[in-house]
């Protein structure tokens, strides 16, 4: 079974890995948030993350192939929460801003930080 949200997971991983590390804190946030939209086994999630490390796709390519199952605004929120879960690195911030530009959303760091 191929998860519908595979590209969403890889896009989020790409943003979080911009600092050179995809941390356990980041993957935990991604997994928790993705599971709100799709019942996904941990093993399946880990295989998608492993595939991500073998891919050579850009942020734009992942974005272009999103399933549409998660609203763009929610993708933005998850990206910010996951990337900042271990400290938002400058490179992660640039990738986050690029995603915001692709989506056409003005980044609102304070509002995203205060949402539950």
pTM to 2 decimal places: 0.89
**Which pLDDT value is given to residue 111?**
52
Supply the mean pLDDT for the chain.
90
Helix (H) or strand (E) holding 10: helix 6-16
Residue 1 lies in a domain: no
Residue 99 lies in a domain: yes
Residue 39 lies in a domain: yes
Is the C-alpha dihedral spanning 54, 33, 106, 6 positive or negative?
Answer: positive
Domain range for 45: 6-114
What total of structural domains would you count in the chain?
Answer: 1
Q: What is the domain-level CATH number for residue 12?
A: 1.10.3680
pLDDT digits (tens, 9 = 90+) for 57-93: 999 999 999 988 899 899 999 999 999 999 999 999 9
Query: Which residue, among 94, 114, 107, has the nearest Cα to 15 in the 3D structure?
Result: 94
Listed range (25-29, 66-70, 87-91, 109-113) with the worst mean pLDDT: 109-113
């Amino acid at each position: 079974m191929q998860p519908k949200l595979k590209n969403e997971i890889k896009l989020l991983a790409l943003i979080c890995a911009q600092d050179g590390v995809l941390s356990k804190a980041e993957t935990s946030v991604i997994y928790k948030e993705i599971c709100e939209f799709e019942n996904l086994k941990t093993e399946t999630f880990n295989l998608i993350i492993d595939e991500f490390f073998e891919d050579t796709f850009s942020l734009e390519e992942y974005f272009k192939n999103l399933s549409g199952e998660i609203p763009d605004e929610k993708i933005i929120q998850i990206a910010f929460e996951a990337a900042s879960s271990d400290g938002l690195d400058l490179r992660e911030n640039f990738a986050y801003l690029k995603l915001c530009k692709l989506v056409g959303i003005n980044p609102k760091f304070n509002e995203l930080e205060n949402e539950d």
